[in-house]
Amino acid sequence: MSNKAIFLDRDDTLIEDPGYINHPDQVKLLDDVAEALIELKRMGYKLIVVSNQSAVAHGIVTEKVIGEIHNRLKQLLAEKGAFLDRIYYCPYHPEGAIPKYRKESDWRKPNPGMLLAAADEMDVDLSQSWSIGDSARDVEAGLRAGCKTILINRSSHHKQPDPCLLLAGTHPHYKSVNIKEAVNIIKKYHRSSGKPADQTQSAPAGQIQPLLQAVEQPRSSEPKEPAPSPPEKNAAGKRTEQLLSSILEQLKSMQRADMFGEFSIMRLMAGIMQIIVLFCLLITIWFLMSPSRQDNNLVFIALGFAMLFQLMSLTFYIMQGRK
């Protein structure tokens, strides 16, 4: 049996879009995103991000940093109990500054390449799937792939209306103000069409699937096995316990990686400068308290060096913040 999926845009659909995101620290989840993804997962949908990332072609960010940004996104979602099945992105743009990425691509929305690739790799029935995003490109890509579409059109949206929406055939099936309303639209669609959503019945079983996605273990498309009979419950419980243990280790390793990622040369240099400033101030106090005080110029020299090193320390801190 084929899977059904929700194809999600990334910026201004799942996370805030300050412009071109070029650092993991800039990743901020929008309100209600984690809760909405949990609801969609309970309805039996695969959750797949499909995102244009032309910043790579323009030389603003590298694919390595894109990977770090997506890892940060998955970590923020995991902290709230939500998980993505897979993330696809297109780094190409026909007017890119980097020759390697300067080209048109079937993966670049409004082309449906990413959706078609995901459908092929993950056995997705596109006719039972949805495309959710905040631009006409997301709508057109979903329509061309054969999905139902929802345009997120917040009243406070900073982007200008896309003229593509005026073209025939690019109008979305539905509109919403945020992803939470988009989930309600999908629920209403299931009720009106008589197609019940695949709601998860028990909490433990509902957690196994998302946890598998958190560590991105490859999954086969084999049909689901029937519920275990009573003699098999102990074995299933052991497997679940082992899985939870492996996920815990994975989260701990991610936290360790983030901790070591906080180190920077600029921060180290700023700390060294602060120590030198303190040393200069101590020398100044020593000169002032000296009984002889034969040369007050030494006091001013020590204070001058303290001010100089303090400015250097501030400079290093500012440079570290703009990394």
Per DSSP, the residues of 128-168 read G-EEEESSHHHHHHHHHHT-EEEEE--TT--SPPPGGGGST
Q: How do residues 45-58 score in pLDDT, each as one tens digit?
A: 999 999 999 999 99
At 38 the pLDDT is 97
The residue with tokens 């092929």 is 120
Taking all residues of the chain, what is their mean pLDDT, rounded to a whole number? 80
Catalytic residue positions, numbered: 9, 11
Per-residue confidence band for 202, with pLDDT thresholds at 50, 70 and 90: very low
Mean pLDDT value across residues 203-220 = 37
At 243 the pLDDT is 60
Angle at 178 between CA 174 and CA 182, to 5 degrees: 45
With 0-12 / 13-18 / 19 or more C-beta atoms within 10 angstroms meaning exposed / middle / buried, residue 179 is buried
At 253 the pLDDT is 52
Q: How do residues 227-281 score in pLDDT, each as one tens digit?
A: 444 545 555 566 666 666 666 665 555 554 444 444 567 777 878 888 998 888 8
Task: Give per-residue burial for 250-265: e unless 16+ CB within 10 Å, then b.
Answer: eeeebeeeeeeeeeee
- Interatomic CA distance for residues 112 and 26, integer angstroms: 28
Q: How do residues 86-124 score in pLDDT, each as one tens digit?
A: 999 999 999 999 999 999 999 999 999 999 999 999 999
The second-level CATH assignment, the architecture, of 4-199 is 3-Layer(aba) Sandwich (3.40)
Asked if 223 and 1 count as a contact pair (C-beta separation under 8 A), the reply is yes
At 318 the pLDDT is 75
Asked if 43 and 198 count as a contact pair (C-beta separation under 8 A), the reply is yes
